């Protein structure tokens, strides 16, 4: 089991795990939980596929349907949470992010990279979350105009590593990621 004495080493370890989300289909970092503050006042959590991570730019990217409820939530409040649990290394990663929503022509380069059979996720009729009469009473009409890129700008990363002695730390963009230990 890993343990860390230095804040930087702990953060480097976490970023190595986050980066696997894009390249390793089996890594749990591929499927973070993305949490928004919904309009009804209840936080809403759902699984998304991590499409890109960039430590230098402090960014995590997701793709979604412009008609999904998370888009309306983000319009009201661009602050969101990301949660990842990595059981093999016993690491929990929590992030506070500010979400930049990209829609329209600016997403065309991203859309070109979406495999044809994956495009069905963007353009479901009726819109995701609409009540329907029976389980399959919906259709797919893949549409680049229904494709949104969510660029999550990371403001805070909090890590919890379970071990004989748990260790916990947080890192803020505002303090240039210098980090501080927390009581677990």
Ligand X SMILES: Cc1cc2nc3c(=O)[nH]c(=O)nc-3n(C[C@H](O)[C@H](O)[C@H](O)COP(=O)(O)O)c2cc1C
Which is nearer to ligand X, 68 or 170 (by Cβ)?
68
Question: Interface residues for ligand X in 101-130 (CB under 6 A)?
Answer: 128-129
**Residues 33-52, mask of contacts with ligand X (x by CB under 6 A):** -----------x-xxxx---
Could you tell me the smallest distance in angstroms from the CB atom of residue 120 to ligand X?
12
Could you tell me the smallest distance in angstroms from the CB atom of residue 28 to ligand X?
11
Question: Interface residues for ligand X in 3-32 (CB under 6 A)?
Answer: 31
Is there binding between residue 140 and ligand X (CB under 6 A)? no
Which is nearer to ligand X, 18 or 161 (by Cβ)?
18
Question: Interface residues for ligand X in 54-93 (CB under 6 A)?
Answer: 62-65, 68-70
Q: Do 150 and 101 contact (CB within 8 A), yes or no?
A: yes
Which is nearer to ligand X, 10 or 122 (by Cβ)?
122
Structural tokens at position 162: 């379970």
Could you tell me the smallest distance in angstroms from the CB atom of residue 40 to ligand X?
12
Residues that bind ligand X (CB under 6 A): 31, 44, 46-49, 62-65, 68-70, 128-129
């Amino acid at each position: 089991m890993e343990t860390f004495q230095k804040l930087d080493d702990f953060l480097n370890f976490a970023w190595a795990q986050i980066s696997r989300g894009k390249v390793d289909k089996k890594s749990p970092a591929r499927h973070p939980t993305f949490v928004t503050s919904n309009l009804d006042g209840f936080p809403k959590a759902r699984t998304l596929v991590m499409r890109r991570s960039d430590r230098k730019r402090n960014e995590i990217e997701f793709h979604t349907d412009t008609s999904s409820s998370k888009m309306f939530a983000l319009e009201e409040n661009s602050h969101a949470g990301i949660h990842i649990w990595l059981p093999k290394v016993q690491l929990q990663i929590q992030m506070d992010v500010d979400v930049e929503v990209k829609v329209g022509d600016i997403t065309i380069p991203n859309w070109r990279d979406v495999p044809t059979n994956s495009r069905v996720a963007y353009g479901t009729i009726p819109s995701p979350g609409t009540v329907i009469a029976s389980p399959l009473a919906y259709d797919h009409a893949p549409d680049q105009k229904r494709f949104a890129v969510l660029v999550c700008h990371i403001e805070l990363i909090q890590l919890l590593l379970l071990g004989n002695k748990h260790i916990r730390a947080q890192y803020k963009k505002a303090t240039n990621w210098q980090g501080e230990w927390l009581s677990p």
